[in-house]
């Protein structure tokens, strides 16, 4: 266990690509790609985690705010270890640690790895 964060992976730059993608360039040279929907689907806040753990409700009525396409409004850093995404529907309680963001990468290389890991 090392208590120093100096050797840990850090983002060098973050940018928006088109309307629906986030790009993160990491200190090890990796370029991560994410759709905003993917990030929202993996929101780490307690409410979203609980929601994901429930079986889908076939009778759920969508709220008007859920009919509007979701967009990120802001993505401020949290300390030196995470980012927070403020969404257009007002949701803002998810704190995405850098490790979590890296694990969510959707680039072709990471997606293949994720599929291989999930296969029995």
41 touches other proteins by CB under 8 A? no
State the nearest-atom distance from the C-beta of 81 to other proteins, in Å. 4
Contact with other proteins (CB under 8 A) among 34, 39, 43, 83:
83
The DSSP output letter for 8 is: S
Which contiguous run of DSSP H or E holds residue 38? helix 36-41
Judged by CB under 8 A, does residue 115 bind other proteins?
Answer: no
Nearest to 72 by CA among 10, 9, 18: 18
From the list 38, 34, 49, the residue with the least C-alpha distance to 93 is: 49
Does residue 68 belong to the site contacting other proteins (CB under 8 A)? Answer: no
Among 64, 80, 118, 119, binds other proteins (CB under 8 A): 80
Name the residue among 92, 95, 100 with its Cα closest to residue 24.
100
Contact residues for other proteins (CB under 8 A)? 1-6, 8, 10-16, 22, 45-46, 72-84, 86, 92-93, 95, 97-98
């Amino acid at each position: 266990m090392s208590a120093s964060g100096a050797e840990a992976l850090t983002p060098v730059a973050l940018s928006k690509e088109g309307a629906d993608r986030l790009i993160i360039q990491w200190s090890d040279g990796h370029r991560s790609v994410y759709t905003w929907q993917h990030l929202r689907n993996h929101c780490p806040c307690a409410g979203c985690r609980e929601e994901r753990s429930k079986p889908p409700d076939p009778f759920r009525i969508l709220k008007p705010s859920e009919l509007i396409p979701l967009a990120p409004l802001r993505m401020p850093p949290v300390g030196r270890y995470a980012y927070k995404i403020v969404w257009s529907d007002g949701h803002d309680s998810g704190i995405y640690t850098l490790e979590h963001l890296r694990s969510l990468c959707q680039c072709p290389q990471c997606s293949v790895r994720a599929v291989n890991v999930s296969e029995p």
